[in-house]
Amino acid sequence: MANVNLKINNIPVTVPEGTTILEAARIAHVTIPTLCYLKDVNCVGSCRMCLVEATGARGLVAACVYPVAEGMEVKTNTEKCRKSRKMTLELLLSKHKKECLACERAGNCELQRLSTEYGCDPQYFESDDERHPIDFSAPYVVRDRDKCINCTRCVAACNKQHVGAIGPIGRGYAAHIGSAFEMDLMASVCVGCGQCIVACPVGALRERTTVDDVWDAIADPAKKVVFFTAPSVRATLGEAFDLPVGTNVEGKMVAAIRRLGDVEVFNMDITADLTILEEANELIARIQKGGTLPMFTSCCPGWVKYVEQKHPEMIENLSTCKSPQEMFGGLLKTYYCEKNGIDPKDLYVVSVIPCTAKKYECTRPEMNGEVDNAITTRELARMIKTAGIDFNSLPEEKFDDPFATCSGGGTIFGATGGVMEAALRVAAKTLDGEFEVVDFPEVRGTAPIKEATYNVAGHEIRVAVASGLANAEEIIQGVQNGSRHYDFVEIMACPGGCVNGGGQPTLPDSIRNSMNLKDLRAAALYTSDEKNSIRRSSESPVIETIYKEYFGAPNSEKAHEVLHTHYHADKRI
């Protein structure tokens, strides 16, 4: 591909042919403001914030979609550019609900930041003050139409997920984003993945917070409160406290939660290990006894809901294992309560998760209310700040026993391919006692779809890993038309897995568009795995104790009663 030479604000730049002005500007370390653009998600030039002057163009052009040309001279900061951007912002503000002091995105809002930088008058254009009801129908996402700026990032994120629960409605001044026929979000085909939330530049979409209920439980002397944290939270929580992306803050996270009140803090990696034992043995049983194959993982509730809604014919392919969140809830309300003489009604279980779909999962009747509350990484960060805890100055502390020690296999659950790798470690060792390999690099990385075949004890195990529901759909279509043949498939609804979940910290465009968040966050988990002296879930002393004292063996009758579940068709499309 030929190179193109141009100047941006008199700075010479050489870029490949086909590069946009916005991409070229970044190479020249020139920032052009954007609202609708989001790398790998949305690039439609609709917000008009990135307008620049360029030779050879008539008037201002949208830098995010306009390609460079040989000899082009670009000006990004002329008076004409600044006036245009300021007017665009003031027009957006005329329809925007300006309740910044009470908004969860206050201080972390792209519209707020740009309005301050450009010195906007929020009342410059008269507003009709029309207000619309906030959609509280879903237990995981709240949608506030009056904060929406019609940037369409959420629509692009939803379509990229192959869900299409929201889209543009109406034309001109009446245009807005909503679900088909103006239905509530819960009545739509939304799967709760939350990718729309992390894509939204303002506060139009947010998780449905349940933090007040957690505070009430902590204050209730009749309740014993226990927290447990998902594997990926340690790799992302630090971002809410201005630490570099990919910083592992496990020790500080535990210390912070402990300072919220009289609570115990457990490690969800324990039930990630437990999931692996149950899932690996379920897979082996299906292979040896002719069960339904390929077997799909079931630890992602967004993916499970997608299957129930769009592919109910594939429900039998799902593993019957609960997610690690729900396994921990079941474990705590049975084994832990029995061992410690606690009435399960007096135990308040709080899960800290990277995922909004986990909030929905807690409400499923199949889960028996075993997890009382699921809060996102963002909600935990807000609780820590509300409590006045200086997070970055905290000491490193360890999880509470008896649920503290996990394997590296449990830790990598948070990255795409991690479930598969952890399961392969156990399944291969179970089939062939001499099999000592613990690293399966073929299923690592953030490629949309990964495939591999392993020969273990005379069995050829064909596996695939996909993250992002559009890629899951490609896998399903291949399985159904006979072009893809697998024994075991891992699916995560969010691109990159839980490290990129819909409940993770919302970061500004300047970071999201310039860094590979998925790789940096996942690297923290793989580093933790490599440092762990226990790499295989089946070799965790905690897991050995749990089976010895309570379940007996993986896939036993007791294990099925507490750790497994069932799913059902929910045909909405």
- pLDDT tens profile 115-163: 999 999 998 998 877 889 999 999 999 999 999 999 999 999 999 999 9
Asked if residue 279 has pLDDT above 60, the reply is yes
| Fold (topology level) of 88-207 | Alpha-Beta Plaits (3.30.70)
Fold annotation for 3-77? Ubiquitin-like (UB roll) (3.10.20)
Q: Is residue 224 scored above 60 in pLDDT?
A: yes
pLDDT tier at 456, thresholds 50, 70, 90: confident
pLDDT at res. 459: 84
On average, the pLDDT of the chain sits at: 95
Q: How far apart are CA 180 and CA 118, in angstroms?
A: 36
Model confidence at 571, pLDDT cuts 50, 70, 90, reads low
Percent of the chain clearing pLDDT 90 (strictly above): 92
Which of 450, 455, 410, 407 has its CA nearest to residue 428? 455
pLDDT band at 294 (very low <50, low <70, confident <90, very high): very high
Query: Annotated catalytic, 282?
Result: yes
- The upper half-sphere exposure of residue 15, i.e. CA atoms within 13 Å in the direction of its Cβ, equals 24
- Does residue 449 surpass a pLDDT of 80? yes
Catalytic-labelled residue, pool 100, 154, 190, 299: 299
Residue 384 has a pLDDT of 98
498 a catalytic residue: yes
Query: What is the pLDDT, as a whole number, of residue 128?
Result: 74
User: In which residue ranges of the chain is CATH 3.40.50.1780 found?
Assistant: 212-563
Question: By percentage, how much of the chain surpasses pLDDT 70?
Answer: 99
Give pLDDT tens digits for 171-208.
988 899 999 999 999 999 999 999 999 999 999 999 99
- 73-98 residue pLDDT tens: 999 999 999 999 999 999 999 999 99
Which pLDDT score is estimated for 337? 98
User: Quick one: average pLDDT of 333-347?
Assistant: 97
407 catalytic, yes or no? no
pLDDT value at 573 more than 70: no
Exposed e or buried b per residue across 132-163, where buried means at least 16 C-beta atoms within 10 angstroms of its C-beta: eeebebbbbbbbbbbbbbbbbbbbbbbbbbbb
- Give the C-alpha separation, 38 to 500, whole Å: 15
Q: Could you say which of 110, 239, 282, 421 is catalytic?
A: 282
| pLDDT at residue 525 greater than cutoff 70 | yes
Q: Exactly one of 498, 537, 538, 540 is catalytic; name it.
A: 498
Rounded distance, CA 285 to CA 287, Å? 5
Average pLDDT over residues 254-262: 98
Q: What is the pLDDT of residues 377-435, one digit of tens each?
A: 999 999 999 999 999 999 999 999 999 999 999 999 999 999 999 999 999 999 888 88
Q: Indicate if 361 belongs to the active site.
A: yes
Q: Which residue, 492, 566, 573, is CA-closest to 232?
A: 492
Contact 307, 285 (CB under 8 A): no
SS3 (DSSP) at 311 = coil
Beta strand 347-353 pairing with 224-229: parallel
Compute the average pLDDT of residues 103-116: 95
Fold of the 212-563 domain: Rossmann fold (3.40.50)
- Which residue is catalytic, options 147, 252, 322, 358? 358
**3-state helix/strand/coil string of 427-456:** HHHHHCCCCCCCCCHHHCCCCCEEEEEEEE
From 110, 239, 279, 326, the catalytic residue? 279
Q: Where are the beta strands (DSSP E) in 19-153?
A: 51-54, 61-62, 73-75, 141-143
Does 299 qualify as catalytic in the annotation? Answer: yes
- Residues carrying CATH 3.10.20.740, the chain: 3-77
Are 371 and 329 spatial neighbours (Cβ–Cβ below 8 Å)?
Answer: yes
Active site residue 158: no
Q: Boundaries of CATH 3.30.70.20 in the chain?
A: 88-207
